[in-house]
């Protein structure tokens, strides 16, 4: 596994909280954009830690943007920020899109890293066309990264999400975003997901809006009893921003 980077954290909740969650954002985003989930966990008595992935936010830059490199960073990230490498597991890891992809690989590679996974419309398998569409979407966002453009594209988002998306776009390395798709020509972590030995719940977007996790990919993973799924009706690829209250309800149901 690649040499890991130390990832910066955004933390909600008391440091001595008995339960701890790791929140992992998607491509072109940042840990700060997981604020709605972080707030919900803190209000429920948890400590929630959201990281900036390599090349994103204020995280270190690198040359390696393979899924394995992202996963290595997460596997080295433990609940006690002062003692990364500690044996204690995360009570839950919540990963969105690329964050879900890399969390699956980290959990499969390092048993005992997490007690369970909740994945928000994870990018489990992407075709060449999907990777090209993702690159094009990020390039288009860079043409007009203003709050007005984000607000127009996502009218249901909270103003915090609009502001933080503008900041995340400015902070993320455009080269890192491009290389994440370029350096992973075989983007498929289904085998890792099937091999994970902890419960996995997938909160997917609504296919009638837009969802990466659907169809044959979902059918393959749902053959295993440790993997379950729910859909946030009316939400797209970012259910925690499109329909936050419903997404949080699905989260608590998965953790019940």
**How far, in Å, CA of 212 to CA of 52, rounded?**
22
**DSSP letters of 35-93?**
HHHHHHHHHTTEEEEEEPPTTSTTSPP-S--SHHHHHHHHHT--S-GGGTT-SPPBSEE
Helix-, strand-, coil-residue percentages of the chain, each rounded to 5: 45, 15, 40
pLDDT value, residue 140: 84
pLDDT value, residue 142: 84
Beta-sheet strands, E only, within the chain: 9-12, 19-24, 46-51, 92-96, 117-120, 200-204, 227-231
Q: How far is CA 167 from the centre of its chain?
A: 17
Q: What is the pTM of this model?
A: 0.96
pLDDT value, residue 76: 95
CATH of domain 9-255: 3.40.50.1820
Burial letters 118-142, b for 16+ CB under 10 A, else e: bbbbbbbbbeeeebeebbeebeebe
**How far, in Å, CA of 61 to CA of 177, rounded?**
11
Contacts 24+ apart (CB under 8 A), 239-246: 239/120, 239/121, 239/203, 239/204, 239/205, 240/34, 240/36, 240/37, 240/96, 240/120, 241/33, 241/36, 241/154, 241/157, 241/158, 241/161, 242/154, 242/156, 242/157, 242/205, 242/209, 243/156, 244/36, 244/158
Phi/psi of residue 230, each to 5°?
A: -140, 160
Domain boundary assignment for the chain: 9-255
Residue by residue, pLDDT tens for the chain (256 residues) are 689 999 999 999 998 999 999 999 999 999 999 999 999 999 999 999 999 999 999 999 999 999 999 999 999 999 975 444 457 899 999 999 999 999 999 999 999 999 999 999 999 999 999 998 988 888 888 888 899 999 999 999 999 999 999 999 999 999 999 999 999 999 999 999 999 999 999 999 999 999 999 999 999 999 999 999 999 999 999 999 999 999 999 999 999 9
pLDDT value, residue 83: 46
């Amino acid at each position: 596994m690649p040499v890991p980077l130390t990832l910066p954290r955004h933390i909600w909740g008391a440091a001595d909280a008995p339960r701890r969650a790791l929140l992992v954002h998607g491509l072109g985003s940042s840990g700060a954009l997981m604020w709605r989930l972080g707030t919900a966990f803190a209000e429920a008595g948890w400590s929630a830690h959201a990281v900036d992935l390599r090349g994103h936010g204020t995280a270190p830059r690198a040359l390696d943007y393979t899924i394995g490199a992202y996963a290595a960073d997460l596997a080295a990230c433990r609940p006690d920020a002062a003692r990364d490498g500690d044996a204690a597991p995360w009570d839950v890891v919540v990963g969105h899109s690329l964050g879900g992809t890399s969390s699956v690989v980290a959990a499969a590679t390092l048993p005992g890293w997490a007690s369970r996974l909740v994945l928000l419309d994870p990018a489990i398998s992407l075709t060449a066309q999907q990777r090209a569409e993702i690159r094009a979407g990020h390039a288009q966002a860079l043409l007009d990264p203003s709050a007005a453009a984000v607000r127009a594209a996502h009218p249901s988002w909270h103003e915090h999400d609009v502001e933080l998306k503008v900041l995340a776009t400015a902070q993320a390395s455009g080269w890192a975003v491009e290389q994440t798709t370029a350096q992973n020509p075989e983007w498929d972590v289904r085998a890792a997901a099937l091999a994970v030995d902890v419960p996995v719940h997938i909160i997917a977007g609504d296919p009638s809006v837009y969802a990466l996790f659907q169809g044959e990919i979902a059918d393959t993973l749902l053959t295993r009893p440790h993997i379950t799924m729910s859909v946030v009706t009316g939400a797209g690829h970012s259910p925690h921003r499109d329909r936050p209250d419903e997404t949080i309800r699905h989260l608590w149901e998965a953790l019940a």
